[in-house]
Structure 1
Amino acid sequence: MVRYALIAEPDPQRAAGLLALLTAEGLEGVIVRDGAEAQEQVRQRGAPQLLVTDLALPRMDGFALLTWLREQDGAAGTQVVVVTAFDELRVRAWQLKGTLGIHALLSRRASTELMRDTLRRVLGGQLASQAPPDEASSEQEKQRLASIAAMRLVDDGPPEAELQQLVTEVAQAFGVPVALLTLVLGERQWFKAHVGLPPSLAKDRGTPRDWAFCHHVVQGREPLVVPDARRHPVFRDNPLVRDGIVGSYAGAPLQTSTGEVLGSLCVIDTRPLVLGVEDLAALRELASRVAEDLEQRARAKQATAQAQAAPVVSEASALALLREAVQALDVAALLVAPGRRPHTCNAAMADLLGLPSDAFPGMTFDAFCQHVASLTTDPAATLRQLDLAAGASRGLRLTLALERPQPRRLRWVARPFPIPGGTAQMLTLSDMVSPRPPREERERQFRVDALTGLDSRRFGEERLLREIGRCRRSGMPFSVLLADVSGLGRLNATRGFDAGDAVLRDSARVLEALGAPTGFAVRWEGGLFLLALPGVDAERTETLRQRLHATPGVPAMASATVTVEGEEDPQGTLTRAQAALTRAKMEQRPPHLP
């Protein structure tokens, strides 16, 4: 048996945390993202001393992986720790612990201390006990159901056309026959939107909660993937599986801004489902956006209901009430008063269209449409589209291609609703290319260096200080590698800034790869990069520094390393690193000039 630990974990942050714990125990850790990658690693390197795995892995689930592993030569002594968010999967795994060779089961929400203690006990040859289920309290469940009721998400009407279009697009994007937007209620799951269901389920728009795969997503608060439900020890006896309706499943939680999980956005196939980690991440991002949209719809409905419930409220009072809802939205939004009068917009709309917020109340709606059209390549054709959108009594959705202030594709959605004095309209513009709402995009620009894609210095320094503190509390080493590209100014002067930028981007990629999977790189300033290495001691850091200079194609660099000493102030560590780099530059012979 090879002395290494195999970590099968789709989430890179959690995988990095597990790797740090195992490195501290003296094991070489190898991270894989799904069950198929884990199989390939075992084939190449042999059975590991320790396997830490989730049960809900893409491509091959944890149960199938453990069954396969126990059939391999030399794997009888492999110790197994299961870490998963799903209680019923964990209970079933514990029932099969003898067959699957499981030594411990933990919740994803287990503390670092419990995780470390469990790993040490298993490595020491002890059989750890099962962690208790993470059952939500009755109060939490009441609050979750109250949120669904307050948002008025369940109704007797047909599925909304916009949500039906969404699930249709999701099914097409993932290449599956069925996609659902589900709400998990007290005793049943209810399909708010659906495509591809058998007629009986489509008519009932739901199933008992006991049948619902989405129930597990709500309980675990994490995405769940079941690549082959017919062979899965938890789901193979599910009535939907026995009837051939569900052969495989992947679902992501609809989580509100206050933390309640309403249900799931899921895809279903009658055959085994081959979804990778990137696919699962995309589904999770879509679910997050859908949950945000449902919240926005609920706020708009609540504001409309309040306005309608008080007939003595004036038009001005109703608009003032709605103004707060508009300002709270992350998506670009404009409130249009009766008579097609732009009333108020949020900061996201102003940023998107390059207009100051105070310009909107003084505009006519025609002037607003003309401004939007002027940002496109064909203003006349766009203006005709917008006139149609503005005049539609039931609202309209259309797609716009803006060239200014920057090229982007936008979805225009107009939703009319009555208020005292007439019909108002909520107009939203959402970016169809970038999934990030404007607020998140602004935060991303603060965090990320635009040229290299690395952490910016300001964000990287904050992250560095946090990681040093974390490693100190955990008793782990922490090292820093500084690397400064030599002759960058001369390169820019002789070959142009494009050449210099290319060198910086290439250097960033090399440093990122060098620090993977637990380290992170920061563009400190100019041609100076910092590589933070949590869990790495001085000797290994020096090895990495030498590997950096030996990498083919890496430009000439001056470099230096330091390791945090005792309770040294983190700023003191950075000062020592800068001093060491200065000495390295002085000792380095100047590069030969052409």
Structure 2
Amino acid sequence: MPRYALIAEPDRHRAAGLLSLVQQEGLEGVVARDGAEAQETVRLRGAPALLVTDLALPRVDGFALLAWLRGRSDAGGTAVMVVTAFDELRVRAWQLKDSLGIHALLSRRAGPEAMRDGVRRALAGQLAGHGQLELNAEDEKRRLTRIEEMQLVDPGLPDAGLQELVTEVAQAFGVPVALLTLVLGDRQWFKAHVGLPSTLARDRGTPRDWAFCHHVVQGREAMVVPDATRHPVFRANPLVREGIIGSYAGAPLITSTGEVLGSLCVIDTRPLMLGPEDLAALRELAGRVAENLEHTSLVTRPRPAAPRPQGAPEPVLNEAAALALVREAVSALEVPVLVVAPGRKPFAANAALAELLGLPEDRLAGMPFDSLCQHVANLTADPGGTLRQLDLAAEGSRGLHLTLSLERPRPRVVRWVARPFLVPGGSAQLLSLVDLGIGADLKAQRERLLRQDALTGLDSRRVGEERLAREIARCRRDGVPVSLLLVVLADLATLNRTRGFDAGDAALRELSRRAEGLCPPPGFVVRWTGDTFLIALPGADAVGAEAMRQALMDAPGPPACVAIAVTVRGEEDPHGTLDRAHAALARAKPERKPASEQG
């Protein structure tokens, strides 16, 4: 078997760059998207000549992967290069470099030449890299200034819409705790939270030294800690020792100008077995939330006044002049905004609001505020209840946040935000209607991200495990057999290396299409791991399953595959059936020579 390099990296684009580096050194490259997949690769192929790994891997973290590898008798000659974005994880890895057998230890921010030098030094058994923190005081100053400018830290009650969001995130990921955090100078602050112990919920934060989210902000990347109780960096954390955090996954809230505000994170008291797809879904949600926070801040925070020349008289504005300035600013905004003058006098609005509410702009310009509220209420399913809520929007002295579900002119969820400001003559209101994209649309998208494989459109492994357990239980009740197939795309690593990742993706899509075409209802196909599909066959016995396996193997044309079939035995636990299937697949893979060896 040729010498190979194993690259444990969830991000496919970074994996492609590392793959190119190891190929330049004459090694075959194999990519694993998480720590468990990397372990499976080593079990099937033996220890690699080189392991390139991150430390924050899904399912099995990099520290655990390295400790496991060093426990194998065939891994004594394996060179290891660690590449990670998280400084404090890298510092700890440097302290453990001898016991973990690390030869090169690089920051994610290292350039191509440093990466290439790290690979070569690791293969030569020489030490490369360092375990020092890479602090950037200017970046941190800009980040904190951005949080202050956006006025995100509000001592009032958490925003109801954000509370709803984190609740839905916790439910979608099947965890007890979800947080939307801002990382400040010396503490983390919970802008929204669900599932926290009462003391943390009351304080709405912790010291920054305790914050897992601090690492997400520092590294500017999503981070997962599958088991914090065993992690060499986090097991001494007070929140871990107290049993509040057993596992963690968080994604950064990055603004359009590049500052990291904090994170959207999920927490469990038990080990968290999120896969790469789950982490990608969390990143997607965090990006949407950051965009929404920035959008809301844009229309609610006051603009700084222009500097006044020394000695110039203080300008005096009457109510009309003050509102005229506001109207001018509102008309230039691309987000739906209106201004209500003191006493609910005629307001100023912009074209974006007219479009959102389905009104001609000239009609909106002359509409009394009460008529506008009635029009908005009529767009909802409960006009009377909505109107009573909107009546408060121009009366409250502290502002109001409402989440409204509009049914017309098209279904959408919007946030009605009212912020008072003083003008000569009293208190005016600046109101904005922000199209959240969080609600029915985002909830459906979130479910799709978590439950559907983006590449093939098949069910994800999480959904497959749920469906398989249900089908096995049903078949037992009905007294009928149930079988399953594991199908692996042959030579995916070679295909990615020689023809590129697009060709590999096309082969995976073709194999999934072929499997679905051969799978009769009520059977179903699942994207199980990176190159492997599971086919569940309720009602099929061993003979029927073998026939389908043979049909897949004998199908003409590319892509080639390796498949095995197993039948559930009596009252066997589904995990036991899957273990037998994986063992059979491991035995079947070596029996098929790579395409390069076939004559």
Structure 1 length-normalised TM: 0.65
Where 1:105 maps in the other structure, the secondary structure is strand
Q: Distance in 1 between matches of 2:322 and 2:155?
A: 31
Amino acid at match of 1:141: E
Q: Distance in 2 between matches of 1:175 and 1:250?
A: 12
- The residue that corresponds to 1:37 in the other structure is 37
- The residue that corresponds to 1:216 in the other structure is 215
Which has the larger displacement, 182-191 or 337-346? 337-346
How many residue pairs match? The answer is 439
- The residue that corresponds to 2:251 in the other structure is 252
Is it true that 1:551 corresponds to 2:558 in the alignment?
yes
Q: Distance in 1 between matches of 2:505 and 2:59?
A: 31
Q: CA deviation at 1:62?
A: 0.3
Aligned counterparts, 1:234-253, within 5 A:
234-253=233-252
Where 1:264 maps in the other structure, the secondary structure is strand
Q: Distance in 1 between matches of 2:280 and 2:348?
A: 38
Aligned counterparts, 1:24-63, within 5 A:
24-63=24-63
Q: CA deviation at 1:175?
A: 1.3
Aligned counterparts, 1:336-415, within 5 A:
337-338=340-341, 343-346=349-352, 350=355, 361=365, 381=381, 387=387, 390-393=390-393, 394-401=400-407, 409-415=411-417
Q: CA deviation at 1:387?
A: 4.9
Where 1:412 maps in the other structure, the secondary structure is strand
Where 1:249 maps in the other structure, the secondary structure is strand
Is it true that 1:143 corresponds to 2:142 in the alignment?
yes
Q: Distance in 1 between matches of 2:505 and 2:365?
A: 46
- The residue that corresponds to 2:7 in the other structure is 7
- The residue that corresponds to 1:428 in the other structure is 434
CA contact (8 A) 1:84 1:106 kept: yes
Q: Distance in 2 between matches of 1:18 and 1:358?
A: 58
Q: Distance in 2 between matches of 1:334 and 1:322?
A: 6
User: Among residues 300, 308, 327, which one is paired with 1:319 in the alignment?
Assistant: 327
Q: Distance in 1 between matches of 2:304 and 2:391?
A: 24
CA contact (8 A) 1:107 1:134 kept: no
Where 1:271 maps in the other structure, the secondary structure is coil
Q: CA deviation at 1:403?
A: 8.1
CA contact (8 A) 1:178 1:268 kept: yes
Is it true that 1:84 corresponds to 2:91 in the alignment?
no
Q: CA deviation at 1:10?
A: 0.8
Which has the larger displacement, 34-43 or 335-344? 335-344
Gaps of 5+ in 2: 307-314, 394-399, 444-455, 458-494, 507-554, 561-599
Measured against aligned partners, the alpha-carbon deviations of 1:23-57 in whole angstroms (never above 9, x if no partner) come to 22222211111101111111112211111110000
- The residue that corresponds to 1:110 in the other structure is 110
Measured against aligned partners, the alpha-carbon deviations of 1:97-116 in whole angstroms (never above 9, x if no partner) come to 12111110111111111111
Amino acid at match of 1:82: V
Amino acid at match of 2:37: E
- The residue that corresponds to 2:301 in the other structure is 302
- The residue that corresponds to 2:532 in the other structure is none
- The residue that corresponds to 1:16 in the other structure is 16
Which has the larger displacement, 384-393 or 187-196? 384-393
Measured against aligned partners, the alpha-carbon deviations of 1:5-35 in whole angstroms (never above 9, x if no partner) come to 1111111111111112222222221111110
- The residue that corresponds to 1:199 in the other structure is 198
Where 2:436 maps in the other structure, the secondary structure is strand
CA contact (8 A) 1:2 1:45 kept: no
Is it true that 1:130 corresponds to 2:137 in the alignment?
no
Give the superposed CA RMSD.
3.8
Amino acid at match of 2:97: K
Amino acid at match of 1:217: V
Gaps of 5+ in 1: 437-451, 454-510, 523-547, 554-594
Amino acid at match of 1:550: G
Is it true that 1:100 corresponds to 2:108 in the alignment?
no
Identity of aligned residues (%): 58
CA contact (8 A) 1:335 1:342 kept: yes
CA separation of 1:274 and 1:428: change in aligned 2, threshold 3 A: same
User: Among residues 416, 419, 434, which one is paired with 1:417 in the alignment?
Assistant: 419
Q: Distance in 1 between matches of 2:496 and 2:383?
A: 47
CA separation of 1:45 and 1:290: change in aligned 2, threshold 3 A: same
Where 1:74 maps in the other structure, the secondary structure is coil
CA separation of 1:68 and 1:290: change in aligned 2, threshold 3 A: same
Q: Distance in 1 between matches of 2:505 and 2:54?
A: 28
